[in-house]
Amino acid sequence: MTILTKKGDIVKGKKLVCQYRKEHKARLVNLTGGHKGMQRVVEGLPAEAIVDLEWGPIANRV
C-alpha cells in the first residue's frame, strides 16, 4: 500500500474514512456542471484518509 504524504497528493475513492483530531466548518463548492459538493478541512497528528470503497473506473482496472 502506498502512503501519500507530500503536499498536493490526492486520494480518490467512492467512500473515504478519515481519522483526525480537529475539523473546520464545511464549505459548499462547485463541482462539474451545475452540481455542488462539500469540502471540509481536517487536522491531525497525522490526519489520515483511507479508501473504504474504490471509485468505479479504478476498481474495474486489472
Q: Which three cell numbers stand for residue 29?
A: 463548492
Q: What is the pLDDT of residues 14-59, one digit of tens each?
A: 999 999 999 999 999 999 888 999 999 999 999 999 999 888 765 5
Reported pTM: 0.68
> Do residues 51 and 11 make contact, with C-beta atoms less than 8 angstroms apart?
yes
